Amino acid sequence: MRVQLENLVMDFPGSRALDHVSADFGFDEVHGLIGENGAGKSTLVNILGGSLAPTAGTVSIGGKPVTCRTPRDALEQGIAHVSQEGSLVPGLTGAENILLGEEPRRAGVISRRDLMARAQALLTEWFPQVRIALDRPVEDLDIADRKVIEIVRGLRGDIRLLILDEPTATLQSREKAQLWDIIRSLPGRGVGVVLISHFLSEIRALSDRITVLRDGVHVATLPADSATEGALVDLMLRRTGSGAGLGMRRDIPHPGAPVLSVRDWQAGGVQVPDFTLRAGEIVGLIGLTGAGHFGFARSLYTQAGLVGGRMQVGATDVTDRGPRAMQRHGIGFVPDNRMTYALSGEGSIVENLSMVHPECAKILPGGILSRRRETQEGARIFDLLGIRASGQGQQVKTLSGGNKQKVSLGKWLYGAAGRYRAMIFVEPTEGVDIGAKQEIYGHIRKLAAEGAGIIVASSDLLEIEHLAHRVVPFVAGQAGNDIAAAEFSEARFIAAMAGETTQ
């Protein structure tokens, strides 16, 4: 028996996430599903799990077409989806989470004793060798145990196909091995697995067959033992025309003096023993979700969750902490999620631009501002960045993504007159169209050319490839070895993000 997908099409407003994808998943195999971010993996498994209804195409089980409009429909067909983010309810025990929504009742009242017994029975049935204190609240359990609980919950009832989305992304190697054994054991018991993972070694070790998606299109399905990692990477990546129009840069400048350096930096689960940013260079930070590259970039500016470490700006030790101190030292920060962390949507463009340095328009003591000077400085930023709007008074929330991002960057140029020696960018072009992207890259390069040190943390590997002079990969909170510009390739990045040291 198998689940067959035929000619699935999924359209979202403005984009096609799946384009006539056909695939089949057996109940007696582990089936790896790989592709870059945005290749359509999540869309595919969401359709399979009943969370999304396809625009066109059919899903059939054993030759009979089925319609799964909700996750509950899918469960009734024997398909369960364990998503990437923890789906456990904090505050409830492991047993309560396993039987959530199907609690055994006596006279209408949930029976705690029956609940515990049934949850324990389910756990033992599937994983006789695993011991978990199911009577504890799930937040007290370690992360591998929580994953097992999610899987057991997925397996309750008559399940024939289990979808696992990045099940080991957050696990240490010992826990990983334990989960691998569990995944391997499922097909023998009549449960097929669809496995999504960024770790190609994991995919190859666990899967019987592998399906590759790219840009919403089915590229290949092949037996796992016939595919080398290199071949899989080739299949995953866009190989032609990828750099078109992005203004590829390959020349490596002669980096200047250190502008920002940290030693033994420990913040929010990220450890960086030694990192130095030099004047004029653009350093890219990459990693899988949760690997710590974003956290490290943020911590350099906010020092949130800082446990220990020393920071130097230029040759001076920095002991004061937080955004205000960093600004004084000439370090700026353009965060991701701009509407949450950078901009006031209700405010006008000029109000937002002047949020960091309103004092540049001061004409009298007491912080009294000249409207004329504000407008002049605002106009300078408008011209510099090419912000397109009806005027400086336009509300930021009405701007396009690219123009919003320009305002977010413009905050650090308005009234700053080159005082920022280091700029930290997180996802500098998320939700920005290709034209504006190119402009923003231009501004970032210009800042570097003018002598600022630039950090760009991004999940867009193409962006890193085109922008950075060197790359620091992060794996599980640790900074790995530098990748020099000469070695840049998406394959190299992906390998480094998965912690594989291919020299």
Least distance between another protein and beta carbon 425 (Å): 13
Give SS3 for 331.
strand
Least distance between another protein and beta carbon 407 (Å): 11
CA-closest candidate to residue 196, choices 12, 26, 44: 44
**For residues 339 and 485, which CB has a smaller minimum distance to another protein in the complex?**
339
Query: Rounded to whole angstroms, how far apart are CA atoms 445 and 437?
Result: 12
**For residues 336 and 490, which CB has a smaller minimum distance to another protein in the complex?**
336
Query: Rounded to whole angstroms, how far apart are CA atoms 86 and 157?
Result: 20
Least distance between another protein and beta carbon 467 (Å): 22
Structure tokens of 204? 């190859």
Least distance between another protein and beta carbon 139 (Å): 22
Q: Which amino acid is at 164?
A: L
Least distance between another protein and beta carbon 333 (Å): 6
Q: Other C-beta atoms within 10 Å of 446: how many?
A: 11
Least distance between another protein and beta carbon 64 (Å): 48
**For residues 53 and 434, which CB has a smaller minimum distance to another protein in the complex?**
434
Helices (H), 172-216: 173-185, 200-206
**What is the per-residue DSSP string for 36-93?**
-TTSSHHHHHHHHTTSS--SEEEEEETTEEE---SHHHHHHTTEEEE-SS----TTSB
**For residues 242 and 395, which CB has a smaller minimum distance to another protein in the complex?**
395
Least distance between another protein and beta carbon 306 (Å): 16
**Long-range pairs, 487-491, Cβ under 8 A, ≥24:** 489/465, 490/36, 490/233, 490/237, 490/461, 490/462, 490/465, 491/230, 491/233, 491/234, 491/237
**For residues 344 and 502, which CB has a smaller minimum distance to another protein in the complex?**
344
CB 501 within 8 A of CB 481: yes
CA-closest candidate to residue 400, choices 431, 446, 440, 365: 431
Query: Rounded to whole angstroms, how far apart are CA atoms 443 and 216?
Result: 32
Least distance between another protein and beta carbon 382 (Å): 4
Query: Rounded to whole angstroms, how far apart are CA atoms 300 and 308?
Result: 12
CA-closest candidate to residue 192, choices 333, 450, 434, 3: 3
470-475 and 282-287 strand pairing: parallel
Least distance between another protein and beta carbon 366 (Å): 7
Least distance between another protein and beta carbon 232 (Å): 40
Is residue 81 exposed (0-12), middle (13-18) or buried (19+ Cβ within 10 Å)?
buried
Q: Which amino acid is at 315?
A: A
Q: Other C-beta atoms within 10 Å of 72: how many?
A: 10
**For residues 373 and 492, which CB has a smaller minimum distance to another protein in the complex?**
373
Residues of the shown chain interacting with another protein in the complex, contacts defined by CB under 8 A: 301-302, 323-324, 326-327, 333, 335, 339-347, 351, 354-356, 358-359, 362, 366-369, 371, 375, 378-379, 382-383, 386-394, 398, 400, 411
CB 160 within 8 A of CB 187: no
**What is the per-residue DSSP string for 456-485?**
EE-S-HHHHHHH-SEEEEEETTEE---EEG
**For residues 298 and 466, which CB has a smaller minimum distance to another protein in the complex?**
298
**For residues 298 and 469, which CB has a smaller minimum distance to another protein in the complex?**
298
**For residues 280 and 415, which CB has a smaller minimum distance to another protein in the complex?**
415
Query: Rounded to whole angstroms, how far apart are CA atoms 213 and 38?
Result: 10
H or E stretch including 403? helix 401-410
Least distance between another protein and beta carbon 323 (Å): 5
**For residues 160 and 421, which CB has a smaller minimum distance to another protein in the complex?**
421
